[in-house]
């Protein structure tokens, strides 16, 4: 009698599984970015890996949007689900954009600050990966989720400082050995790396919103 209604109900954990898959792609792309900037292994392999993780994340967000349309009852507001998924997708899009700029400009050597930013990107992705499973019980895990998002925001602040100091170093180097093209490339890479950190802060803000609404 109630079979039709049960078919409308969400499959247990579907959205959370998708969130976790999205987070896994974020971590994978961030690991490849660290290896790329640190000169570990084959450069082309890392560039392709980031591109592949970006495609995998696109598939996840398509599935998420499909589930949102098809599911009668969702664990969170539909807008909150799509906002979180979109923010997570933006982080991988920005990593892919950074790797594309690195490939386009044939960058093979990276400033120490760039390497540090890449590492902080990986740290932030791992914090997101830790936070996402906790969304299954926001009320119980609200405090821990707030701690994790706070750390992500702190990392974004560190990236801002590294960006500024790195650009200052590049500007000072121009005074000694002018190379306008090298400066433009350096500025572009720093800009792309900083945008990744900004995207992670957006994910943290979306998680915080869920905690406020459901804890």
- Mean per-residue pLDDT, 29-46: 96
pLDDT of residue 74: 86
pLDDT at 190 over 80: yes
Q: Label residue 71 by pLDDT band (50, 70, 90).
A: confident
Contact (Cβ atoms closer than 8 angstroms) between residue 117 and residue 163: yes
* pLDDT at position 166: 96
Structural domain spans, the chain: 13-214
Q: Which fold has domain 13-214?
A: Methane Monooxygenase Hydroxylase; Chain G, domain 1 (1.20.58)
> How many angstroms separate the CA atoms of 7 and 76, rounded?
19
Alpha carbon 75 to chain centroid distance?
23
pLDDT of residue 70: 86
Q: Provide the 10 A C-beta neighbour count for residue 205.
A: 15
* Whether residue 26 has pLDDT greater than 50: yes
Instruction: Give percent above pLDDT 90 in the chain.
Output: 85
* DSSP letter assigned to residue 77: -
Q: Could you report the per-residue pLDDT of 111-125, keeping only the tens digit for each?
A: 999 999 999 999 999
Cβ within 8 Å of residue 119, ≥6 positions away: 34
């Amino acid at each position: 009698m109630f079979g039709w209604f049960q078919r409308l109900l969400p499959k247990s954990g579907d959205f959370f599984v998708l969130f976790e898959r999205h987070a896994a792609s974020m971590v994978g792309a961030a690991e490849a970015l660290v290896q790329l900037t640190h000169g570990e292994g084959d450069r082309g392999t890392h560039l392709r890996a980031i591109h592949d993780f970006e495609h995998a994340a696109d598939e996840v967000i398509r599935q998420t949007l499909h589930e949102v349309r098809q599911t009668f009852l969702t664990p969170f507001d539909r807008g909150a689900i799509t906002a979180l998924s979109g923010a997570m997708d933006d982080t991988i899009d920005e990593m892919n954009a950074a790797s594309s700029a690195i490939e386009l400009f044939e960058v093979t050597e990276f400033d120490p600050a760039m390497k540090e930013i890449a590492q902080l990107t990986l740290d932030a992705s791992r914090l997101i990966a830790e936070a996402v499973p906790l969304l299954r019980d926001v009320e119980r895990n609200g405090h821990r989720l707030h701690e994790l998002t706070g750390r992500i925001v702190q990392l974004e602040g560190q990236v801002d400082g590294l960006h500024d100091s790195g650009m200052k170093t590049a500007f000072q180097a121009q005074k000694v050995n002018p190379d306008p093209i090298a400066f433009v490339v350096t500025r572009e890479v720093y800009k792309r790396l900083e945008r990744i950190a900004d995207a992670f802060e957006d994910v943290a803000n979306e998680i915080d919103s869920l905690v406020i609404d459901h804890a």
